[in-house]
Chains A and B, each alone.
Chain A
Amino acid sequence: MKNTLRQVFHSSKFVAGFIIFVGILLLITFYPLFHPGNPLDMIGVGTFAEPGTYVSLYDSVGTDTETLKLPDAADKRLDAVLGKEDRIKMVAWLSAMEVDIEGLDYMDTEALMDLWRANYDDSARPNGMTKAERNYYKRLNESLSSMGAGGQMKVFENDAAGEEQQIATITPEDYVNVKNVANTKTLVLGTDNFGRDVLKEMVSATRTSIMIGLIAGVVATAIGLLLGLLSGYMGGFVDDAIMFITNLFTVVPSFILLILISYSIGQEQRGASVVALVIGLTSWTWTCRSVRSQVISLRNRDHVNLSKLSGHSLARILLTDILPYIASYVVMAFILQVSSGILSEAQLSLLGLGPKTTEVPTLGLMMNWAMLYSAHLNGSWWAYFPVILMITLISFSLNLMNTGLDQVFNPTLR
């Protein structure tokens, strides 16, 4: 046993898969400890807030300020405020005035502003420009010059009497330390369509999905192993009967069976564990087939015959004389079942047949929500890409472990 384990951990593929999987397990164990709270809390009111650190505007007003004179502050401010449309209009004006704009990138604020400041003239009348358009450029130029320089801002608050009281004056050189602002929130993966913290939700979803995979894997492997052992060892009528059922459910696609059963259970009864159970109940057939063929090659070995002659019970022969020889095989089958269980849940959820939506998030449900709210079309990559990556990483790590084990136990494959 010890020797086998050492051999297994010498396989680089197994170790790589193992490390990824343990990493995921550590994440789902420790992240909730440091960031407690319900993963389904809707902290955002809007949909799909971008990833990043959010600083409370309200709190930052009262916070002690430091004066910093940063040379490029004005340009950066302009850069952030100047919209794409205004930039395109500016380029249009410049080209209408036949200014050389070769090689100008309109997103390069500094170059654009240099050209603009050097060439803009409100008395100029570019060809084919209406008065309304000229007025637009006049306004644009005014706001451009005020934006860059930046005037003071005054903040008022309604006091108890309903009078407006000035509480602060903000200059462009006032800075607050983020540490001193009472409320900031870092959303590593932004929020989803319901305004939930995607990272927190995904950690919880990963945990549920792995649980679903494990339950489905245990159920499928247990049924497949039991039926495979009985069918392979006993032969005769038992074998025929079991193989009939197995062949039947191999040909009828298990995914369709899964859809039909999940649908007939109904939305209300469909918790995460029920879904896991159903997945397990529909996916045991290939485990049964492969266990059976392994057992058939074992059942006429001398030690099995000896056991039989000694009058040992069926259960004992199966458990002590046959099971140890196929244990490695069963472990590999189990790993594959876990991985396909997680995938099945995700696919079911995408068809709208996942676990009921109010209790727990799963990776499939998150994916389903992202698709329902068209996250993939409106550029909210954080709502679906981490989920796809997580599913891929989980099954990749399991597949790697499986291949590693396969190569240890079948040395020709190395």
Chain B
Amino acid sequence: MKGYRKYFGKKIVWFLITLVVAVILNFLLPRLMPNDPVAAITGKMAQGVTDASASQRIYEKYQEEFGTNKPLVEQFFIFVKNLFHGDLGTSFSQYPRKVSEIIASSIAWTIALQFPAIIVGWLIGNILGALAAYIKKGFDKVLLPLSLFMSSIPAFGMAVILLVLFGVRLKIAPTAGGYNYDMIPNLSWPFVKSVIAHYQLPFWSIVLVSIGGQAVGMRSMSIYELNADYVKYARFLGIKDRTIVRYVFRNAMLPQITGLAMSIGTMVGGALVAERVFSYPGLGSTLFTAISGGDYPLISAATLIITLMVLTISFVLDIVYGFIDPRVKAAQFDS
């Protein structure tokens, strides 16, 4: 067990370090803005207030609420303390709603949309890539340029094309939102049906975009493996083709899992922008409204949550990888 413990220990330490850095960056960067964000918000909130002392009082009240009148280090510790209590401050653009409340209402949409889509795209892409490497000939000749083209379409572009094609032209799917606008979220059958109908287009746009890149990567990996000495040796021994393909697929799959861990951040980023196209009620749309409303507590919280999500996924993938990569197992026997 020692090998595993060392591997997992290392991964956990890394997770914690990156977490701390992410929190620091999230705290620091918005506060490095050249112009005072609190002043900007006061300006917006105190529009039409002519009395200078009144707007001064508004400014001071906001300073108090955001704690910007204290030194930076003290602010940071207050920020971290509040973070542990799940308190992310008050939103400006949707005052007086709490940021944590807004995030809580949108995070489930994002998770439910993005992770199944990315996983499905990853699976289909890998299967296609492996097939292209194995069958070669015509299939590969068509699939490789096609995958390259598909992976070149930006996620938001795919979203817009699907939206216009199926939502606006063919009218077989709704064009915006996560459910019918006249419904109140509950667990009734019509509501679930509406959610599923609204789910289709965003889901497939993310799947289609992620297929291409994964297929190209898997194809290269599988070709490398198919030309490896152990495959030639296995053929020489007369092992059945199907068994060999299974070995090859397993070995080519491993780097694809790390590849997924590395690219999950980019994929989530693209999918967040696609959310905006569909006005899907997830973190991407929240982020967009926060940015256009100059709502920096909300931006900071949304980015922090997304970072946390990506960090956790990479961490989980690393742990899974530890279990299935024979080399980690080998390290375990060595020690």
Contact = CB atoms under 8 A, between A and B. Distances in A.
A266 B288 contact: no
A155 interface: no
A382 interface: no
Given A255-B268, A388-B160, A264 B224 contact: no
A254 B151 CA distance: 19
B18 A251 contact: yes
B143 interface: no
Given A388-B154, A392-B152, A396-B152, A253 B268 contact: yes
B157 A250 contact: no
A263 B18 contact: no
A399 B152 contact: yes
A265 B151 CA distance: 31
Nearest to A340: B266
A198 interface: no
A379 B151 CA distance: 26
Contacts of A393: 152
Most buried by A among B148, B152, B296: B152
SS of B interface (majority): helix
Given A251-B265, A263-B30, A265-B34, 17 more contacts: A250-B262, A251-B310, A252-B265, A252-B311, A253-B307, A256-B310, A259-B287, A343-B154, A351-B273, A371-B276, A388-B157, A392-B149, A392-B153, A393-B152, A403-B144, A403-B216, A413-B223
Contacts of A247: 14
A113 to B, nearest CB: 29
Contact of A350 (B21, B156, B303): B156
Contacts of A400: 145, 148
Interface in B130-162: 144-145, 148-149, 151-157, 160-161
B314 interface: yes
A412 B299 CA distance: 47
A6 to B, nearest CB: 23
Contact of A253 (B30, B33, B155, B266): B266
Nearest to A258: B269
Contacts of B25: 252, 257, 260
A252 B156 CA distance: 22
24 contacts: A247-B14, A248-B17, A248-B18, A251-B265, A252-B21, A253-B265, A256-B310, A260-B25, A265-B33, A266-B34, A286-B262, A340-B266, A346-B154, A346-B156, A350-B276, A351-B272, A371-B160, A376-B160, A388-B154, A388-B157, A392-B152, A392-B154, A399-B152, A413-B223
A406 B221 CA distance: 13
A396 B30 CA distance: 35
A252 B149 contact: no
Contacts of A253: 264-266, 268-269, 306-307, 310
Contacts of A339: 152
Contacts of B262: 250, 286
A252 B291 CA distance: 20
B73 interface: no
A381 B223 contact: no
Contacts of A351: 272-273, 276, 287-288, 291
Interface in A341-394: 343, 346-347, 350-353, 367, 371, 376-377, 379, 381, 384-385, 388, 391-393
Interface in B156-198: 156-157, 160-161, 163-164, 168, 175
A347 B273 contact: yes
Given A286-B262, A352-B292, A347 B154 contact: yes
A89 to B, nearest CB: 24
Contacts of B32: 264
A261 interface: yes
A376 B14 contact: no
B222 to A, nearest CB: 11
A350 B273 contact: yes
Contacts of B303: 256, 259-260
B269 A353 contact: no
Contacts of B163: 376
A265 B29 CA distance: 9
Interface in B79-108: none
B148 A399 contact: yes
A269 interface: yes
Given A256-B306, A350-B276, A392-B149, A263 B266 contact: no
Contacts of B168: 376-377, 379
A193 interface: no
Contacts of B144: 403
Interface in B275-292: 276-277, 287-288, 291-292
A346 to B, nearest CB: 6
A395 interface: yes
A263 B296 contact: yes
B227 interface: yes
Contact of A261 (B21, B29, B155, B314): B29
B322 interface: no
A353 to B, nearest CB: 6
B163 to A, nearest CB: 6
A255 B299 contact: no
B220 interface: yes
B332 interface: no
A264 to B, nearest CB: 5
Contacts of B161: 385, 388
A396 B306 contact: no
Interface in A231-264: 247-248, 250-257, 259-261, 263-264
B144 to A, nearest CB: 7
Contact of B269 (A251, A347, A413): A347
B148 A255 contact: no
Given A350-B276, A353-B291, A264 B152 contact: no
A347 B22 contact: no
Contacts of B224: 412
A45 B296 CA distance: 36
A403 B314 contact: no
A314 to B, nearest CB: 30
A343 B220 CA distance: 24
Interface string B243-285: 0000000000000000000101110111011001100000000
